[in-house]
Amino acid sequence: MFLGLPPRGRVLPIGCHRLLTSLLLAAALGIALLPQPAASLPLYARQTGQPCATCHTAFWELTPFGRRFKLGGYTMGGGDWTGPPFAVTLEAPTYTHTEAGQAGGAASHFGPNNNFAFQQASLFTGGRITDNLGAFIQGTYDGVARRFAWDNTDIRFANSVNVDGHKLLWGVTANNNPTVQDVWNTIPAWSFPFISSALAPTPNAKTFIDLVYAQQVAGLTGYAFFDDLFYLEFGGYRPLSNNTQKALGISPTGQSPISGVAPYWRVAVEPNFGDHSWQVGTFGLTSNVFPMGLSGAGTDSFTDVGTDTQYQYLGDPHTVTARVAWIHENHNTSASQTLGLADNSNNQLRSLNASLSYIYDKTWSFTGGRMSIGGTPDATLYGTFTGSSNSANWITEIAYLPFMRGGPSFWPWLNARIGLQWIRWDKFDGATSNFNGAGRNAHANNTIFGYVWIAF
């Protein structure tokens, strides 16, 4: 979830754009240089004086309060914390078991199966800087790849005004991952599963908006939330240069950089009534890209259009969330075809992510979900033995969250999510059996993932 690792078999970006890159760096510099009130920048629970359950049904899924806290620029106060503005999350220990071992090891330094791992350690800073400026800044040590890199970053200015008797909350966000600025848990950066094994197999095909450009771009978008109901956002993304990415811990190898600016848009409506919150929306990203960074044949282009809906029942002690997101990608691969990187001159992908969670007493979380992706076959582009891009799984998870209402007396800001996740693959990289030409079946990738996820 946090560290946007390049997916296998898909092309990712490089490049540079002075202004947007500088904006993120300058904003970070600004945070350091601007005078801080005595109580500024404690992270969110400490800053607001609220327990985790106010903003999260079960972390990291947001409640209506949490969504508005984020749209308000992470600036809301209410707490009396005067300590340093940092938080830490640890994904450790984790345990990954696949139905059949992975030849050559699940990753460098790991065995074929039954691996324990210290998966991630993230350091966060940000929170309220002024009454209208706030941030979410994350750096992550990846315990599987054994490297440190910048992670999700979202720095925003927000203000609320009255327009002819109607409330308008507006803002600007500078961020490094298309969809990371979003507030609903249907969209790729924050969708279920909220934590996944870094040692389990994943399909080759994925849509561009599904974190392909995470941490490799700088973006600026403006948004408006009208009458606490209608949400509209528009902006664009540019790639970071190779040197900038390397300096931030990101390897630019194998990326397909955006050419020019990639427009991003988001429209949603969220009516709230009593204990119910319902959202319907659409989102998208479109761009020209240099396939594998090669410019000799011009550019490919893609347009990703998503539709999503989320329903939450926020009762006590019962909470229910249903989420569905469907993404269609049209991918013009004429440049890739000329370069021998694709068989077809045009491809389509369609992905579905649907899940249903029940949370009891803000403590026990039960989730079931269905994920699928598929589209036109293209063996060269997707790198599959079958040529097909089709994969589908069922996922179930049980999680125990003992501290959503507050941690133990010796450290009230401690939170933890202890979970067990099971993934059953119906189809993987285009086949149910022998998907890799070496006799491996989709079921061989069925995964049991146990984890302890700690935040403090």
Partner 1 sequence: MPGEPESVSARFSRRSLLRSAVGITGILAATLNPALAQPKISKVAVNYQDHPDGDKRCDKCVQFQPPDACKVVEGTISPQGSCRIFILNRA
To partner 1, the closest distance from the beta carbon of 47 in angstroms equals: 11
CB of 434 to partner 1, least distance (A): 36
HEC string for the chain: CCCCCCCCCCCCCCCCCHHHHHHHHHHHHHHHHCCCCCCCCCCHHHHHCCCHHHHEEECCEECHHHHHHHHCCCCCCCCCCCCCCEEEEEEEEEEEEECCCCCCCCCCCCCCCCEEECCEEEEEEEEECCCCEEEEEEEEEECCCCEEEEEEEEEEEEEEEEECCEEEEEEEEEECCCCCCCCCCCCHHHCCCCCCCCCCCCCCCCCCCCCCCCCCEEEEEEEEEECCCEEEEEEEEEECCHHHHHHCCCCCCCCCCEECCEEEEEEEECCEECCEEEEEEEEEEEEEECHHHCCCCCCEEEEEEEEEEEEEEECCCEEEEEEEEEEEEEEECHHHHHCCCCCCCEEEEEEEEEEEEEEECCCEEEEEEEEEEEECCCHHHHCCCCCCCCEEEEEEEEEECCCCCCCCCCCCCCEEEEEEEEEEEEEECCECCCCCCCCCCHHHHCEEEEEEEEEC
**Residue 15 beta carbon to partner 1: minimum distance, rounded to whole angstroms:** 5
Nearer to partner 1, 160 or 346 (CB): 160
Name the residue nearer to partner 1 (CB basis): 168 or 305.
168
Which of 132/396 has CB closer to partner 1? 132
Q: How far is the CB of 21 from partner 1 (least distance, A)?
A: 7
Residue with smaller CB distance to partner 1, 337 or 386: 337
Least separation in angstroms between CB 6 and partner 1: 16
Q: Shortest distance, CB of residue 290 to partner 1, whole angstroms?
A: 5
Nearer to partner 1, 71 or 392 (CB): 71
**Minimum CB distance to partner 1, residue 53 (Å):** 9
If the CB atoms of residues 241 and 363 are measured against partner 1, the closer one turns out to be 241
Binding site for partner 1 (CB under 8 A): 14-19, 21-23, 25-27, 29-30, 33-34, 48-51, 54, 64-65, 67-69, 71-73, 75-78, 130-133, 157-160, 167, 169, 228, 239, 241-243, 257, 259, 272-275, 290, 293-296, 314, 316
